[in-house]
Structures are given as structure tokens and as C-alpha cells.
Amino acid sequence: MIVEFTAPLKVWSGPAAWFFVALPQAEAGMIRMAVPRRGFGSVRVKARIGEARWTTSIFPDTKAGTYLLPVKAAIRKAERLSDGDPVTVELLIDA
């Protein structure tokens, strides 16, 4: 399953500077219904933003009812991304 969307990059307001992109509700619902989840409800994915590609997991955000895609510093640097930037993401769900 391939999921594409555009959403803002957001910094997590905690002690560590983690950056995430929240999946839109519709895409998150499709994934929840179609894909078995692993520990903590995570789902393995292959992600692409621009030319950057990496393997990671998306993690459930139970408060917002969606998933969060972590975006590591190397990806943000390579794609010149900052907090609040709109990001076009392609996810290959690794079910």
C-alpha cells in the first residue's frame, strides 16, 4: 500500500528535538483498517520526502487519532526542512 500526502513538519514540544509529520485522518484510517500493527501500534514503512528515502516506522498518536512519521535530522538537512514547512510524503506500508 502506498500513501501520499502533504502536511506540515512539526517539532515535538518536549525535552528532545524530535520532528514529526502527522498523517491526515483519512490516510491514517486506511492504514489502521488494512495493516496489522506491531508493538506500541507502530507500522513499518519506507518513507520518501523529496529525494530522501529511508526505512522507519510510523507511530500512533492516540490523542489526535492519527500516526506520526519521525523525520530525522539528516533528512531535514538534505531536504532543507524547518519546523512548519509543508512536506510532501510518500509512504510504502511494509505490512
Evaluate if residue 59 carries a pLDDT over 70: yes
d(C-alpha 55, C-alpha 60), whole Å: 17
**Of 87, 76, 63, whose CA–CA distance to 8 is shortest?**
87
Residue predicted with more confidence, 37 or 68: 68
pTM: 0.89
d(C-alpha 7, C-alpha 5), whole Å: 7
Q: How many domains does the chain have?
A: 1
Confidence band for 57, pLDDT divided at 50, 70 and 90: very high
Cα separations in angstroms, 59 against 22, 66, 77: 10, 8, 22
**Of 64, 70, 56, 81, whose CA–CA distance to 27 is shortest?**
64
**Of 20, 4, 3, 5, whose CA–CA distance to 63 is shortest?**
20
| pLDDT score at 37 | 67
Domain span holding position 37: 2-93
d(C-alpha 10, C-alpha 70), whole Å: 10
Evaluate if residue 95 carries a pLDDT over 70: no
CATH of the domain at 55: 2.40.30.100
Percent of the chain with pLDDT over 90: 71
